[in-house]
Amino acid sequence: MECKENNFANIHKKEMRAVQDSMDVLNGKWKIAVISSICYYENRRFSDILKDVGGISNRMLSKELKELEINKLVKRTVIGTQPVIVQYTLTDHGLTLRTIINSLTEWGVAHRKKIIDK
Amino acid sequence: MECKENNFANIHKKEMRAVQDSMDVLNGKWKIAVISSICYYENRRFSDILKDVGGISNRMLSKELKELEINKLVKRTVIGTQPVIVQYTLTDHGLTLRTIINSLTEWGVAHRKKIIDK
DNA sequence: CAGTATCCAAAGGGATACTG
DNA sequence: CAGTATCCCTTTGGATACTG
């Protein structure tokens, strides 16, 4: 009995840690929006995302993109024209977030119906 | 052609808004962890959650629970014994978050394998 | 175009002590 | 037990100006 309870507690702890790992990556006011922007269009430039994610500043976009790059969710490609063009793409690993994005999209709609609208 | 592009852009905007609505509810350093704690155990007391979510302070737990209540994800029940006992449960609406929690759990595990460990 | 640098205000959140 | 209240440091992020 004690063993069973401990197992449950341990599994629970691991699940909590896993969820937290995800949230650490996805936190920040704009992260999900930035991912969505790139995700749907597949190949986006800095200025495209800037326009797409309403309200974000270039300073913030730069920061968020860097963090996403560090976490290997986004790939940055410089095209050395003049002036410079930079392309952002989701990596394969980044694309695995689509399930979560879709869940969040559906839930967001349902939640708005339930709470925000009425 | 223009019409098609506009439709796509509009749908995209709506999806981005929906995702943002979700994140507004789930943001905050501890929100998901608190939900997970209640979700897995179904019926939890304030002090249980406090122990379960490692590192959270009572001040923060109190705040997060209030916000979750406002968003109708959590139900608070006072049992008028002495000293007082308070039970927290997920509402039906709160339980619909399970899909997301599960996605986040799975992704968190995969992400840790890919990045955090090596 | 794609960022950086700087400044600054506001929000977030920890530690501690207190209450019905 | 289940919170509140207070203090105070840290992080976040907006505005603006500048650069290769």
For residue range A4-20, list pLDDT tens digits in order. 667 888 888 899 889 98
User: pLDDT higher for B116 or B66?
Assistant: B66
pLDDT at A89 over 90: yes
**pLDDT tens profile A93-115:** 999 999 999 999 999 999 999 98
| Range with the poorest average pLDDT among A9-18, B1-10, B78-87 | B1-10
Residue B91 has pLDDT above 60, yes or no: yes
- Cβ–Cβ contact B69 with A under 8 A: no
| pLDDT surpasses 70 at B3 | no
Mean pLDDT of chain A: 91
Model confidence at A67: pLDDT above 90:
yes
CA-nearest residue to B30 within chain A is A20
Going B73 to B102 to A107 to B28, the CA torsion angle's sign is positive
Q: Which nucleotide is nearest to B60 (CA to C1')?
A: C13
Q: Does B12 touch chain A (CB under 8 A)?
A: yes
Q: State the Cα–Cα distance between residues B27 and B75, nearest whole angstrom.
A: 19
And the tokens for B21? Answer: 């609505």
Q: Note if the pTM is more than 0.75.
A: yes
Could you say which architecture CATH assigns to the domain B2-117?
A: Orthogonal Bundle (1.10)
In which band, very low, low, confident or very high, does the pLDDT at B104 lie, cut at 50, 70 and 90?
A: very high
Res. B2 pLDDT band, cuts 50 70 90: low
CB A40 within 8 A of CB A48: no
> For residue A90, what pLDDT is reported?
97
pLDDT at A62: 98
Between helix B2-26 and helix A31-41 the angle, nearest 10°, is 150
Residue A79 pLDDT more than 90? yes
Would you tell me how many other CB atoms lie within 10 Å of the CB of residue B100? 21
Least-confidence region, from A65-74, B31-40, B68-77, B108-117? B108-117
Q: Give the whole-angstrom CA distance, residue B56 versus residue B47.
A: 11
Query: Phi first, then psi: what are they for B89, rounded to 5°?
Result: -135, 150
| Distance in Å, alpha carbon of B84 to nearest chain A alpha carbon | 26
- What CA–CA distance (Å, rounded) separates B99 from B39? 12
Is residue B5 scored above 80 in pLDDT? no
pLDDT (0 to 100) of residue A2: 56
- The CA R_g of chain B, rounded to the nearest whole Å, is 18
All structural domains of chain B with their residue ranges: 2-117
Question: CA of A21: which chain B residue's CA is closest?
Answer: B108
A57: pLDDT strictly greater than 90: yes
Residues from chain B contacting residue A5 (CB–CB below 8 Å): none
